[in-house]
Amino acid sequence: MSKAFMTAALAALCLGVAACASQKEPAEQALAAVEAKFKESAAEIQKYLPERHAEIEASVASLRESMSNEDYSDVVAEAGQVQQSLKRAIGESRVRRAQLLVEMESEWDEMAKTMPTMVAAMDKKISSQRGRPPKGMTGDAWKQTIAEYDAARDAWGKAAAGLTRANFEESVLTARDAKAKIAGIMEKLGVKPS
C-alpha cells in the first residue's frame, strides 16, 4: 500500500514538473512579447496617458514577478490581458495626441495674433525707459527683467521662424512658455499690449 502510494506520489510530482516545464517556454515568450511591445510604445503612452502608463507598467512588473516565482500558467493567462490593455492604450494615446494637436493649432493661431503686439508693447516700454529702471525697481532688477524678456522674445522668434510639421508640438510648447514669461513681465511692469 505504501509502495503504491509512493509510486502515485512520484508520478504526480513528475507530471507536475513536466507541466511546469511545458508552461515555462510559452510564459517566457509571452512575457518577452509584452515587454518588447511596452518598450516600443512606453514613451508615447507616458506622454499622452501617464496614468495608463503607470497601470501597464505595474502589470508588466506583476508578470515579471509571476515569472520569477515560476507561476508560468499565471504569466501565460495574464500576458494576453496585458497585451490587450497595451493595444488599447496605444490607440487611446494616438487619439489623445491628435486631440492635443488640434488644440495646439488653435493655440498657435491665437499666439501668432497676440505675440507681436505683446513684443511691440514690451520693446516700446524698454525703449522709453532709456536704460533707466522704472520707478520702484533697482537697476539690477531692471537688467534681470530685460534679460528674461530678451530670452523669452528670442525663444518666441525661434519657435515662430522654425515652425515645421515635424517640430510643431515642441514649437508650440516653447512659444507657450515664452508667452507666459512675457505676459508675467508685462503684468509686473503694468504694460498693456498696444
Contact 142, 134 (CB under 8 A): yes
Flag residues of the chain having pLDDT under 70. Answer: 1-21, 194
Q: What is the model's pLDDT at position 11?
A: 43
Convert the pLDDT of each residue in 34-69 to its tens digit: 999 999 999 999 999 999 999 999 999 999 999 999
Q: How far is the C-alpha of 75 from the C-alpha of 63, rounded, in Å?
A: 6
Residues 132, 3: Cα–Cα separation, whole Å:
104
Q: What is the pLDDT of residue 179?
A: 96
Instruction: Give residue for cell 522704472.
Output: 134
Residue 27 CB contacts under 8 Å (≥ 6 apart), including other chains? 67, 72, 73, 75, 76, 79
pLDDT at 109: 94
- The torsion angles phi and psi of 126, rounded to 5 degrees, stand at -65, -45
Give pLDDT, residue 53: 95
